Chains A and B, each alone.
Chain A
C-alpha cells in the first residue's frame, strides 16, 4: 500500500492516445477565466514525487484551478459529512463505491458519510484517465494517504483543544477520543468554524488490509436507488434550458474528404443552426428529428478513397508490418535454435484477431455550453482532463476556460478515451449561442468510434519429453503488447510486437491486447499439451513458477472439477488463464457443440481470480462475472466487418453481442490476498474465457479454432 506507485507506461496499442482530436476548428479568441473560486477545502496534499508521476500531466499542471501539489483532497463539513475528490470516472466498475469505502476506512468514519466527487476538471485533481485498471493501485493509496493525513490533523486539533499530547488519542467512529479521560469530540465539532490545511508527509503509514473495517466488505452501490428509478442523469439525459439537439454529417466512408457543399435549403429552415468548419459539417435544431432533417437537406459531395476490407485484413497486417525492430517491442533470452533442437515436440501456429467494437449501451454523447468565452462540457469520457486539453487546443482557448464534467456513464470498456462528441457539441454550441447536445446514434457508435485492433499472432515452440518448454517464439502484428510475455518458464524465447500502419481508427479495449495474446498463447499451450499427451492443466502447472498463477489454476480446477469425464456427445472441457496488470486469472469452460448445426453453447464456466486485497467482494464478483460474459462475445461471435471504408454491420441486429440466452452458469472464485496491494479488477478477469472456450470446442470436436471470434457461424465438424 505504501511507497510510490510505478510509472505508468502507455501501451503501444492505445493508438487513440496519440491520434489527436478528430476535428480542428478556426481560431476564436476568448477571455481567460479562472474556474475554481475559493473552496472550503480542509486538507490539501502531496509533495510525493512518485505519486505525481501519474497525476502530473506532461504539459504541466493548471494552477488556475487547484493548487498544483494536490493529487487528492477531501473536505470534512461542519455536519461531519466527508467529501472526497477524484478525477476518476464511474463507468459501472463501481469505483465511486470502492473509493468511498477506502476513504471511510482510513478516516474512521461510517461509509454512509462519505461522498465522492468524481471527474470534474474544475473540482477534482488532475488525473490521467480511468484506464489500465489504475484506479485501485494508484487512486486508492492516494485517497488513503489524504484520509490518514486528515485523521492526524483532526487528532492534532483535538489534542490542542484538550491540551494533551496527540499520541494518546484515538480516532474512530468519526470522533477523537482520549482514553485517559474518557472525553470524545466528533469530527463535525472539530471542523466547525475552521479552515485547515496540511501537506502530506511523503511516507504516511496507512491501514494494512488486515485491519480494514469498511474496506474489504461488500457494500451496495452508493447511489443505486438513482439507477433503478431512472433518476440518474447520464450525459444524454441532461437538458439545460434552451438546449438544441445537434447532429453531425458523416462522410460516406472513412478518410473521405468534402469536395462540394451546399446548405442553402438548410439555412432556410427556421430555428436551425448549421456549421461547416473544414470537413466538419453539423446542424443543431430544437428537436433531434429537425436536426436530422436539416442534415438531410445539405448537398455534400465527398471524395472517397479505396480501402481494404475485413476479408483481407490479416494478410494486410502481416505484409505491412513495420520492418525495423525496436528494443522496446522485443523480449529475448537464450537461443531459439538451441531450444528447438532440445525439443521432443515442436509446434507452429497462427492466430487471427478480428476488430471488435466496445458497443457501450450509452453511445458517445456530450452537452456543451458556452458562457462569456468559457466552455462547459458534460460528456461520457474516461479521460476528462485529456478532453479538456483537446477542447482548449481545438478552440484556441486556455485550458482554464474549459470545464469538463463526466456524469456516471453508461459504460465505456476502454472505448471512451477520445473527445469526439465533446468537440462536436462544443462547435455547434458556439455557433448556436445555446447549449447543444450531440448523442451518437448506434450506427455512428459502431462506425465512428475506434475498434479493438485486429491482429495476427504467430507462435513457434518446443517442449522436451518431460513436458517442459524449451523454446518460445511469439510475434504479434498490430494488436498490441499487453500480456505478450509468457508467464511460463522457458529458457529460450523471442517475443516481439510488430506495429502496422493502418488508417482505420483503433485503440484501447478492456484488457487491451491481453485478450488476444492470452488467447493465442493458451490455445497454443493446449495444442502442445495434446501433442505431448499431457493433461492440459498438468502441462501448465509443470511450466509455472509463479505461485499466484499456480494458485488460480488450482482454485479454478477445484471449482470446475477438472479433469472431467465426458458424459454426452458434443461435450467438451477447456481451460485458459494468465496474468496482467497485477491480476491472475484461470478460467475453465464446458461447452456443448451440436453436431448437426455446429452451434456452440457454453454450459458452465468456473473462473478463479486473484488481484491482491479485495476492497469490495460483491463489486469484484460483479466485475469478474461481467468480464467473462462480455468476453464471450469477442470469443465466440463479435467481429466488425468493413469494406471500402464502410462498416457493413453497424447494428445490434448484425453485430451480435452476448444476450441472456448465451449466458452459462458461472462460478467466480475470488482469492483475497490481504498481504498484496489491491490491483485493478475490471480487465484481467476477461482474459481466460476465449481460450477456455476454444480449447473446450477442440475437446468436443477435434477442431482447432485459432482465430477470434471462434465460431460466429458455429463449428464445422
Chain B
C-alpha cells in the first residue's frame, strides 16, 4: 500500500520510502519544485510548507508523518489566478532579490498571519528567525508582511 499525501487539495500516492523526508517527495516525485532545498538540516527555512495549517520544515519530516494531513505548498496559495495576499505583498514590496528563499518565507508568513492577524515587527522578526535570506532583503520582507496583514483584514482569508 503506498502512502497517500494530500497536497494543495489533491491526493497523491507516494512510492518513495516512508522515511524519505517530505521535501524530496514533493520536489522529485510530485514535481512541486517551488519548495526549496537550502540545507536539509532544518536551519534555513527554504523548504517550509504548511502541514495542517502550521509552517513546518519539510526536510525534517518523514513523508509517513505527513500522510493524512492537509499539506499546502507555495504552488497551492494562488487561487484561480489570484495571488494570495502575502504573495501579492511580496511582489508589491519587491521583497526579494534572488528569491530562492522566497517560497519558504512566504509559507512561514502565511502561517504567522493565521495565528497572529496583526503582528508587530518584533513578532515577524521572531517568527522568521529560522528563515535565512542571504541577499539581505529582510527589511522589505517585514514590510511586505505588514502590507499583507493589512490587505487580509476584512477579507477573511
Q: Which residues of A contact B (CB under 8 A)?
A: 91-94, 220-221, 224-225, 227-234, 236-237, 239, 245, 287-289, 359-363, 408-411, 413, 439, 441-442, 618-619, 622-623, 625-630, 651-653, 657-661, 663, 666
Contacts and interface: CB of A to CB of B under 8 A. Distances in A.
Contacts of B94: 220-221, 224, 618-619, 622
B139 A359 contact: no
B90 A289 contact: no
Contacts of A625: 136-137, 139
Contact of B91 (A228, A230, A413, A630): A228
Contacts of A236: 33, 36-37
Most A CB within 10 A of own CB, among B27, B78, B136: B136
Given A441-B40, A442-B40, A362 B100 contact: yes
Contact of A361 (B41, B44, B125, B129): B44
A629 B136 contact: yes
A627 B136 contact: yes
A98 to B, nearest CB: 13
A442 B126 CA distance: 24
A231 B40 CA distance: 21
Contacts of A409: 98
Interface in B92-148: 94, 96-103, 106, 124-126, 128-129, 131-142
Contact of A227 (B41, B78, B88, B102): B102
B58 to A, nearest CB: 13
A361 B100 contact: yes
Interface string B60-88: 00000000000001110110000100011
Given A228-B90, A628-B136, 19 more contacts: A225-B91, A228-B96, A228-B102, A230-B34, A230-B103, A239-B33, A287-B16, A410-B100, A622-B94, A622-B140, A629-B136, A630-B134, A651-B39, A651-B43, A657-B132, A659-B129, A660-B128, A663-B138, A663-B139
Contacts of A441: 40
Contacts of B90: 228
27 contacts: A92-B97, A92-B135, A225-B83, A227-B96, A228-B90, A228-B103, A229-B77, A230-B34, A230-B73, A233-B33, A234-B36, A236-B36, A239-B28, A287-B24, A289-B16, A360-B98, A362-B36, A362-B38, A362-B100, A442-B41, A625-B137, A629-B136, A653-B43, A659-B129, A660-B125, A660-B129, A660-B141
5 closest residue pairs by CB, A with B: A230-B34, A92-B98, A629-B136, A410-B100, A626-B136
A287 B124 CA distance: 37
A604 to B, nearest CB: 12
A364 B45 CA distance: 18
A411 B24 contact: no
A288 B40 CA distance: 13
Given A289-B20, A411-B135, A362 B39 contact: no
A660 B134 CA distance: 11
A529 B98 CA distance: 40
A116 B129 CA distance: 35
A652 B44 CA distance: 7
Interface residues of B, number: 57
B43 A652 contact: yes
Contacts of A626: 97, 135-137
B135 A230 contact: no
Most B CB within 10 A of own CB, among A245, A413, A629: A629
B31 to A, nearest CB: 6
A625 to B, nearest CB: 6
Contacts of A227: 96, 99, 102
Contacts of A439: 37
Contacts of B5: none
Interface of B: 16-17, 20, 24, 27-28, 31-41, 43-44, 46, 73-75, 77-78, 83, 87-88, 90-91, 94, 96-103, 106, 124-126, 128-129, 131-142
B13 to A, nearest CB: 16
What is the interface of chain A mostly: helix, strand, loop, or mixed?
Answer: loop
Nearest to A365: B37
B135 A630 contact: yes
B41 A360 contact: no
A363 B38 CA distance: 7
A132 B103 CA distance: 29
Contacts of B33: 230, 233, 236-237, 239
A409 B128 CA distance: 23
A64 B10 CA distance: 48
Nearest to B89: A228
Given A360-B134, A362-B100, A289 B24 contact: yes
Contacts of A659: 129, 131-132
B125 to A, nearest CB: 4
Contacts of A232: 99
Contacts of B124: 660
A560 B110 CA distance: 35
A701 B134 CA distance: 30
A419 B115 CA distance: 45
A410 B96 contact: no
Nearest to A232: B99
Nearest to B99: A227
Contacts of B106: 228
Contacts of A629: 136, 138
Nearest to A233: B33
Given A92-B97, A622-B94, A666 B75 contact: no
Contacts of A233: 33
Contacts of A220: 91, 94
Nearest to B96: A227
A214 B142 CA distance: 29
Contacts of B41: 442, 651-653
A359 B103 CA distance: 18
B96 A361 contact: no
A618 to B, nearest CB: 6
B68 to A, nearest CB: 22
Contact of A234 (B16, B44, B100, B129): B100
B125 A229 contact: no
Contacts of B100: 92, 234, 360-362, 410-411
